[in-house]
Amino acid sequence: MVRKKGMPAVADAVRVGFVGCGGMGIAHMKSLVENPKAVLVAFCDINLKKAEDAARSYGSEDAQAFDSAEKMFKSIKLDAVYFCLPPFAHGAEMEAIKRGVPFFVEKPINLYLDQARKISKAVERKKLMTSVGYMNRYRRGVQMVREILKEDPPILVLGGWIIESPSPTPSMPIVFWWVRKEKSGGQFHEQVTHTVDLARFLCGEIVEVHAFSAKGFNREVTPGYNIEDAAVVNLKFAGGAVGNLWASCSSNGGGGGVSLSVYCLKTTALFNGWRHDLRLLRKGEEAVEVPGEENIFAIEDKAFIEAVLNDDPSKILCPYSDGLRTLEVTLAANKSMETGRPVKIRRRENRSKL
């Protein structure tokens, strides 16, 4: 059910605004209109029509549309805000921080490390509640494996995303910025960031990366395409494990998909597909199958809304500071692709310096 115009806002609900009304924004709107503890009252997009359409489709009776985040924050009282922006378009988070408004930000949290660190420091100073859209952390299978790995540590980590070439045809629709390295940061940074984050969440911090890329194979693709056709990134974990994650947007013959495999002495955890269905193998035991949740956006959105409503961040599994660490890894991988050299990720006082 969509909460349409004419339906009143719930008095004790969290008043939510959106900055960015594209595909990811709409995915969260669809889950939030089903949540009785959230009411969507403000929509912002540089394309005002998108904001107006979202307000009509998902907004409450008093919903308003804006083409400027600053105008939105000045015009309407918000309890929480969602930032669903392309990697290159961040910075408006400072408007929420100035006003003490808790925020949810979609991944990756930025394209520019200096800006992300500035935002993170401001969040820390304000002690502001935040959440990052790494939804796979909330999956039951992921939580199960995380507990097991505390006793049976990871040794080898493999995974990534293999998809077909982006093209201007309906078979692989891609927004304009995704195929531009200076806008998206490339497939590893923008898409495989999910797998990087999950590897960190399950296996601990990544302290060094060494990346290689392939270019020049995709020819009949979306105009302006200049990202890598494929990349492989070797990883070294603080706990001693090693890994390899891959990205490919050039596999038109099929057989790709999303995967993450973790190998330990007594445990093998195999995650497959966008839902991250789990096949868990343990020495001396029967295999366990745990299907991934279809409604994962609703699950992570519920955690954020409940946290704001109760002023209790304990159910949020990825605050901004943690999303920053994943950003540091993917940008280090990009740096390694450029230089051909390994990049160490040094940590000082819970922050890293490339």
Please tell me the predicted confidence (pLDDT) of residue 348: 54
CA distance 326 to 88: 16
Express each pLDDT in 75-90 by its tens digit. Answer: 999 999 999 999 999 9
Q: Which carries the bigger pLDDT value, residue 246 or residue 3?
A: 246
pLDDT single digits (tens) 39-84: 999 999 999 999 999 999 999 999 999 999 999 999 999 999 999 9
Written as six digits, the tokens of 56 are 């009509």
pLDDT-wise least confident of 6-10, 176-180, 229-233, 239-243? 6-10
Give the global pTM: 0.94
As a whole number, mean pLDDT of residues 115-120 equals: 98
Token pair for 129: 């509640």
Domains delineated in the chain: 14-135 (3.40.50.720), 137-291+320-353 (3.30.360.10)
| Nearest-angstrom CA–CA distance, 275 and 292 | 5
pLDDT in tens, 162-211: 999 987 655 545 678 999 999 999 999 999 999 999 999 999 999 999 99
pLDDT number for residue 11: 55
Q: State CA 67 to chain mean position distance.
A: 24
The pLDDT of residue 179 is 94
Across the chain, what does the average pLDDT equal?
93
Alpha carbon distance 169, 143 (integer Å): 38
Check whether 117 has a pLDDT greater than 80: yes
What are the φ/ψ torsions at residue 48 (nearest 5 degrees)? -55, -35
| pLDDT value at 7 more than 80 | no
Tell me how far apart the alpha carbons of residues 53 and 40 are, in angstroms, rounded to a whole number.
Answer: 13
* Residue 262 tokens, joined: 């973790």
The pLDDT, as a whole number, for residue 338 is 98
Which pLDDT band holds residue 220 (cuts at 50, 70, 90)? confident
